Amino acid sequence: MTTTSKCVHCGAVVKEWERDCPKCGRPVANPDAPLVSDLRSKNWSKAGQHRKKNILPFIIGIIVIIIIILFYYYK
């Protein structure tokens, strides 16, 4: 299902992913908006992947807290 909207310049019906109005040819979308072909390409999907979070600082922090607690407990 495609979503449509109206061109802000001439009022013509414009499909969701079009950058330019088919009637007046003026831009109706952000010029940096991706094209459908960009969204389907492998490069775009790799760019949108989330980075894995590094768990090492969390583990080190827990170990330091445990050492401090043990130090005060046995002191």
Question: What residue ranges do the domains of the chain occupy?
Answer: 1-32
Percent of the chain with pLDDT over 70: 65
Which one is predicted more confidently, 24 or 6? Answer: 24
Question: 72: part of which helix (H) or strand (E)?
Answer: helix 56-73
The answer, as to whether pTM is greater than 0.85, is no
Question: C-alpha dihedral over 23, 25, 30, 36, to 10 degrees?
Answer: 70
Which one is predicted more confidently, 72 or 37? Answer: 72
**Can you give the pLDDT at residue 28?**
79
In the predicted structure, residue 3 carries a pLDDT above the cut 60: yes
Which one is predicted more confidently, 50 or 9? Answer: 9
